Each structure stands twice: as C-alpha cells, then as structure tokens.
Amino acid sequence: MDFGLSEDQHLLEQTVRSFLADQVPIERVRELRENEAPNDRATWSALAELGVAGVLVPEAQGGSELALLDAALVSQALGHAVTPTPFLASAVMAPIALASISGSKADGWLAGIASGELVCGVAVTELFSVREEAGVRVSDGKLHGKAMMAIDSYGADLLLVAIDADTLGVVKTDAAGLDITRLATVDVTRCTAEVLLDGVTPAALFEAAGPAVARMLDAGRIALAADALGACESMVEQAVAYAKQRKQFDRLIGSFQAVKHMCAEMIAEVEPARSLLWYAAHSFDAMPDEAPLMACHVLAHVSEIAREIASVSTQVHGGIGWTDEQNLHFWFKRIGNARHLLGGPELLRNRAAELQGFAPAA
C-alpha cells in the first residue's frame, strides 16, 4: 500500500510553512515571548484567513471541515516554526467537542472559532492526571474547583472545562467567579493556565458528552505529537546547517565521523515517527475504533525521540547551543513542555496497555 499526502495536503503544508517563515520568523517569536500573552491575535487572525483556525470546523459554520491529518500537518508546521498560537486547543480540541453538540450556541461558537474572532482554551488535565487536588464539580448548576495546566487558556475568550469523562462545561472568560492565571512553564510560546472557578455560571453544560470528550483528547494528543515532531525537524535542520559551517582544527565539524553519526541518528528517528503520525491522524477519521490506541502510541513515541533529538541537536552546536543568543532553546523547551501536556509517555503507554487488555483499567 502506497500511503502518502495528497496534492492538496502538500499545498496546505507548504502554504502554512511559507506564511510562518515570512510572517513569524524566530525574531518575531522572541518579541512575542515578552508579551503577557504570546498568542498574538493579529497573527492568529492572519492564520484564520488561510483557513488554519477552521480546519476542523464544519463547513456550515464557516470552516473547511478537513480531516485530522490535515490539522496535524498544520500543527507540524507550527511546531517547526515554534509559533505561539492557540491552535491545539482552539482549532483542534474545541471544534472536535463542540461539533458533536447541536444547537445555535455551539454553532455560533464554532463560527467564531473558524473566523479567528473567538479563541477557545481547554481544561482537561484532570481527566488523566490530578495535581494539587484539582478538579471541577457542579453544584446547583454552577462550577466550583480548580483546573491545572489548562491549554491555551490565558487570553482566551471561551473555556471548555471537562467536569468528568461524561460532562463538558463551556465558560466565558469574563464570567463572574472565574480567575485565570498564566502558569510559568519552560515553554514561553504556550499560554498554559491555572483556572479557579468559584460559583461560575457556565454558558452551557452538556451531560453524556463522553465520546466527544474522549475524541477531543485523542485529537489533541495526535496534534501535539505533530507539533513536537515539527520541532524535531527544525532542530535536526539547524544541527545539520551548523555542522556545515562551524570549523574546528580548520575542518568543518560536519566532516567528523562522530558528528555525522549524531545527525544521521536524529534523521533516522524522525522518518519512521512521521509515518506513525500520519497513520495515527488518518485513523482518527478512517478507523475511529483504532484512534484512541494510536493517539497514545504516537504521542508517547514522539515524546521519547523528541527529548533525545533536542539533546543531541544542542550537543552538535556545542556550548553555544545552550545560550539564549542561539535560538535552539525555543524548540528544546517546546518539546519538553509537549512531553507532559496531555500525558507523559509512561501514562500513555499504560493507557495503551489498558486499551489492549494487557493491564487493568485504572
């Protein structure tokens, strides 16, 4: 079987990468990291005009209604350019959940997401990992509690809050009783937040949304793996380029066998991971029963190889690779944050074992 990207998918990938190289170079990323919220709305609006924000939104609400593989290609391009955007939460996870909900409210939110006018964060960490006794509960129709590591939530307009595996709450960020604090993480390109809810009245509360919540998690994990893989590609490219111009003992360091092996091994890790990513993203739409397992496998695997690639690429650069003047640390930290954002490799592999019946369900 010959599995590859279509002409339209190649064009989508090239268009996004070209835009990012022109409009959001690393110098612009350096500027954005100084902002209170690095998710620049002007950049996001421009990406929305390219169809990025609505890639998974139904056509009826102004989106493109493409497949998750298309979204993964966009996510990979964003990771390659280490671009600060709310793509993971607002363009991938939120549309998957909201598209399963009928009603004018959901349609309006989806239309806003597709146009780029509405940015949506998601708070789902407590579904798979509870920290500091966090968790959100419903009492008398109001939300109480705390959600940690809420993705793309600082500076967002709307939040999707997973109460449990079967309940999803939608909260406007200007709601009374809601407090959102940006968390200081190693990755300055993501607006991860702590969300406190003290008697917050949700804009909507949906019971029995279990399949939608689970699908949202699967899509997020696949898209996050794509982002990390894109970061890996960039780090390999930068290491190879540096090895071709840096000299030691009047020789290019790329001519040393040890450096050649380091670069070759990084490339050898990236290529099969790309195939795994494509298969996982394809399975989400074509083989939905297989998607939960593939989502766990691809994020766990990419997280593992990405950590190694980040380290080796930095070593190729030598001492300068660890400095702020050399831009490599942006990708290094993005990879480090992605490793834990929707579950670390150990948690994901345990979940995969549960899905296959090799371990008891937690």
The predicted structure's pLDDT at residue 358: 86
329-357 per-position pLDDT tens digit: 999 999 999 999 999 999 999 999 999 98
- Mind listing the domains of the chain with CATH numbers? 7-119 (1.10.540.10), 121-208 (2.40.110.10), 211-355 (1.20.140.10)
User: What mean pLDDT comes out for the span 74-99?
Assistant: 97
Per-residue CA distances from 333 to 30, 66, 82, 84, 228 (Å): 14, 30, 10, 13, 10
**Rounded to the nearest 5 degrees, what angle is found at the Cα of 336, between the Cα atoms of 332 and 342?**
145
User: What mean pLDDT comes out for the span 256-272?
Assistant: 95
- Identify whether the C-beta of residue 259 lies closer than 8 Å to the C-beta of residue 186: no
User: What mean pLDDT comes out for the span 100-105?
Assistant: 79
- Identify whether the C-beta of residue 19 lies closer than 8 Å to the C-beta of residue 50: yes
Q: Where do we find the tokens 């394809």?
A: 282
Q: What is the DSSP letter of 35?
A: S
Nearest to 329 by CA among 78, 31, 26: 26
176-203 per-position pLDDT tens digit: 999 999 999 999 999 999 999 999 999 9
Confidence grade of residue 1 (pLDDT, cut at 50, 70, 90): low
Residue 333 one-letter amino acid: K
Burial class (CB in 10 A: 0-12, 13-18, 19+), 349: middle
Alpha helices in the chain (DSSP H): 7-23, 26-32, 41-49, 68-80, 94-98, 104-115, 210-245, 257-286, 291-316, 328-341, 345-355
The predicted structure's pLDDT at residue 325: 87
Phi (first) and psi of residue 326, to 5 degrees: -90, 130
**Rounded to the nearest 5 degrees, what angle is found at the Cα of 144, between the Cα atoms of 140 and 148?**
155
The predicted structure's pLDDT at residue 130: 86
Confidence grade of residue 280 (pLDDT, cut at 50, 70, 90): very high
